[in-house]
Amino acid sequence: MIPERIIQTSALTKHYGSFGAVDRLNLSVRAERITGFLGRNGAGKSTTIKMLLGMVHPTSGSGTVLGCRIDDRRESIEIRRRVAYVGEEKGLYGYMTVAELIRFTRSFYTDWQPDVEKRLLAEYRLPPGRKVKALSKGMRTKLALLLALARRPALLILDEPTEGLDPVSIEELLQTLVTAPAQGTSVFFSSHQLSEVERVADDILMIDRGSAVLDMSLEQIRENYRRICFGFSTAAPPMESLRGVEKVRCEGRQVTIVASSNSEAIAQMGRERGAVDVRVLPLTLREIFLETVEERNRQDQQRHREREDALV
């Protein structure tokens, strides 16, 4: 039986020496949904995924995938039996041919679907007799996807799945992902292509510096996230911190607020403070992502500069 929350972590932490890759991460991923896992390079996405699959051992905290504990060796094998995974590197055995690698992978899973294998082999135009090392990066990505999609896994975890794919293949993959939940497969995928995520994801999980900074359904994001711009005739007055205000930027007579909810009340506050121009605009996922990570990026750069100055 598949639990309602297919992935759950509690204060999941991974440190490499003094560097904290994942920091007390709390995740809760719903079953039969497509969850987009977003974050900057080095935000901790791949480390989190590898911890879920038992490739990286957590420093502290706990987690479950499909109800199995990630830090238990036996349960971790059960997780890998029920999860299909395509890693960031797409590293496959170069010394095997495409057909040999398919045969090899098939032998580990009882849920293998030969008809899907045949269909994808034809769709992706993968030459069965060619050595994997002779395939282009895009073809290798397609082969890695075939190995994951030719099963009927309870959960599909993809780390940057569209990297190296041509537009047609990206489109085909996105179509495949969209239909997966209807067949009982939940999808958890990381990507830098926000437009792709926005097209297919039901839920969005954004992490930065190893911690979750956004965990919401795309529908909620679209409904609630707003950019509210106030124009004042004189210098902008200080803004009250209302519920839902994520970020406030003041530039002369202009005040821009990023709100995660409560946009009507925030707009009303602006009018009450004497704003002559009030605009409430929807935000795209890309804008939310940039707004969320931009400030932290600036802080990181500032800290880096300070460290370098201290060294000089």
Catalog residues that contact another protein under the rule CB under 8 A: 16, 50, 53-57, 73, 77-78, 80-81, 85, 87-89, 91-96, 100, 103-105, 107-109, 144
Give me the least distance between CB of 32 and another protein, in Å please.
22
- Could you tell me if 73 and 229 are in contact, meaning their C-beta atoms sit under 8 angstroms apart? no
Give me the least distance between CB of 53 and another protein, in Å please.
6
CA pair distance 23, 76, nearest whole angstrom: 21
Amino acid at 185: T
- Could you tell me if 189 and 35 are in contact, meaning their C-beta atoms sit under 8 angstroms apart? yes
Q: Residue 80 or 227: which CB sits closer to another protein?
A: 80
| Residue 174 main-chain phi, psi, to 5 deg | -60, -35
**CA distances (Å), 297 to each of 39, 41, 42, 209, 266, in order?**
12, 11, 12, 10, 26
Give me the least distance between CB of 82 and another protein, in Å please.
8
Give me the least distance between CB of 286 and another protein, in Å please.
29
Q: Residue 61 or 87: which CB sits closer to another protein?
A: 87
Q: Which two tokens stand for residue 76?
A: 């971790």
Q: Residue 90 or 209: which CB sits closer to another protein?
A: 90
Give me the least distance between CB of 196 and another protein, in Å please.
22
At what angle are helices 98-106 and 137-149 packed, to 10 degrees? 30
- Could you tell me if 15 and 21 are in contact, meaning their C-beta atoms sit under 8 angstroms apart? yes
Q: Residue 100 or 123: which CB sits closer to another protein?
A: 100
Give me the least distance between CB of 123 and another protein, in Å please.
21
| C-alpha closest to that of 6 among 234, 180, 147 | 180
Q: Residue 91 or 274: which CB sits closer to another protein?
A: 91
Q: Residue 156 or 245: which CB sits closer to another protein?
A: 156
